[in-house]
Amino acid sequence: MGTHYVALACQRLDVPMVYISTNEVFPGDQRRPYFEYDPPRPINAYGQSKLSGEQSVKDLLNRFYIVRVAWLFGGQRNFVRTVLRLAETVAPHGLTMVADEIGSPTYNYDAAAALLQLVGQPFYGIYHFVNAGHASRYDFARAVLRLGGYDHVQVHPITLSDYQRDSTPPPYSVLANTAGTAMGITLRPWQEALAAFMERAGLAKQA
């Protein structure tokens, strides 16, 4: 409903709206990246809520940018910092990470920079702004540990069915940035973005 009210305000003021959505509007039942025009079909409450927000924006406005992002890292609370914290506290036993949940790790700085290139241009619609490439949670965690100087910490792969959580994530939710690329808006590979974030945040191993 919050999105609905913001869209109503934009309608009243006759201004475009930016709505940040998610990869979790897709069910994850295919093995190719999801394009902007693929039909969404969320399998959890979070994805349904974000899709409802998308629908409110499309119903109420003609000028909007719906931008889907995924697996954001940056700031103080994110997967990267969690993996490093766990490496410090449970290193003797190793970590367990899901190996069959595949997504698009994305540096929030890069997503924001892409968004700044987009807004102000009259090319309204749906966009996927994610760093290039894809990874499992297991792959992502191993990259974090390597850059953070925790190569000695073992990572044990598990499956989604082994990991109990309150929500049901889509097993494969890689996003394809086709609309942005057509406009010249591209994001670097997630590995480069991860290294840049960890260096900027002081989390990378010092040479």
Which of 69, 72, 30, 43 shows the shortest CA–CA distance to 172? 30
* Cβ atoms of 64 and 17 closer than 8 Å: yes
* Cβ atoms of 133 and 191 closer than 8 Å: yes
C-alpha span between 26 and 41 (Å, rounded): 5
- Of the residues 5, 34, 46, 65, only one is catalytic, namely 46
Active site residue 65: no
Phi then psi for residue 18, to 5 deg, are -105, 125
- In single-letter form, the type of residue at position 155 comes to V
Active-site amino acid positions? 46
